[in-house]
A and B are shown apart, each in its own frame.
Chain A
Amino acid sequence: MSRRFPAFLVLALLAFMVLAPMAGLLNLGSLPGYEMTDLRFWESAYLRRVFFFSVWQALLSALLSVLPAILVARAFALQPDLPLRRALLRLFALPLVVPAVVAVMAVVSVYGSDGWLPLGRSLYGLNGILIAHVFFNLPLAVRLLLPQWQAIPRHHWLLAEQLGMNSWQRWRFLEWPMLREALPGVVLLVFMLCLTSFAVVLTLGGGPRSTTLEVAIYQSLRFDFDPARAVVLALLQLGLCLLVAVVTLKLQRLPEVEIADSATPTPITALHKALDIALILAATVYVGMPLLSVLIDALDGPVLSVLSSATLWRSIANTLLIGLSAALLSVSAGWFLLRYSAGLAYAGHTRGARLVDLAGSIVYVVPPLVIGTGMFVLLSPHVDVFDWVFPIVISINALMGLPFVIRCLGPAMRQNHARYHRLCLSIALLGWHRFRYLEWPLLRRPLGLAIALVTVLAMGDLGVIALFGSPASATLALLIYQQLGAYLIPQAAVTAMLLLLLCLAVYALLERLIGGNSDATY
Chain B
Amino acid sequence: MLLIEGLEFAYDVAPAAPMRFELEVADGEVLSLIGPSGSGKSTLLNLVAGFLPARSGRILIDEVAIEGLAVAERPVSIVFQQHNLFPHLDLYTNVALGVEPSLRLDSVQVEAVRDALARLGLEQLQRRKPGELSGGQRQRVALARALVRKRKILLLDEAFAALGPAMRAELIELVKELVREQGMVGLLVSHQPRDALIASARSAFICDGQVAASAATAELLEQTDLPKLRDYLGSM
Contacts and interface: CB of A to CB of B under 8 A. Distances in A.
A163 B87 contact: no
A165 B87 CA distance: 17
Nearest to B74: A162
Interface residues of A, number: 21
Interface in B186-204: none
Contacts of A267: 70-71
B12 to A, nearest CB: 13
Contacts, number: 58
B51 A158 contact: yes
A156 interface: yes
Contacts of A158: 49, 51, 78, 80
B88 to A, nearest CB: 4
A169 B101 contact: yes
A504 interface: no
A328 to B, nearest CB: 44
Main secondary structure, interface of B, reads: loop
Given A161-B71, A169-B102, A260 B76 contact: no
Contacts of B51: 158, 161
Nearest to B89: A173
Given A158-B51, A169-B102, A260-B83, A163 B89 contact: no
A256 B131 contact: yes
A249 interface: no
A118 interface: no
Contact of B86 (A154, A161, A174): A174
Interface string B58-92: 00000000000011111011101011101111000
A68 interface: no
A177 B88 CA distance: 7
A351 interface: no
Nearest to A153: B83
Contacts of A163: 72, 97-98, 101
A164 B99 CA distance: 10
A87 interface: no
A338 B88 CA distance: 33
A427 interface: no
A155 B89 contact: no
Contacts of B80: 155, 158-159
A52 B66 CA distance: 63
A166 interface: yes
A132 B111 CA distance: 56
A162 B74 CA distance: 8
B1 to A, nearest CB: 21
Interface in A103-159: 153-156, 158-159
A347 interface: no
30 contacts: A153-B83, A154-B83, A155-B80, A155-B83, A155-B84, A156-B86, A158-B49, A158-B51, A158-B80, A159-B83, A161-B51, A162-B72, A162-B74, A162-B76, A163-B72, A163-B97, A163-B101, A164-B71, A164-B73, A164-B101, A165-B97, A165-B101, A166-B101, A177-B86, A177-B87, A256-B131, A257-B83, A257-B87, A267-B70, A267-B71
Given A153-B83, A160-B101, A161-B71, 13 more contacts: A153-B82, A154-B83, A155-B82, A155-B83, A161-B72, A162-B49, A162-B76, A163-B98, A165-B101, A169-B101, A173-B97, A177-B86, A260-B83
Interface of B: 49, 51, 70-74, 76-78, 80, 82-84, 86-89, 97-98, 101-102, 131
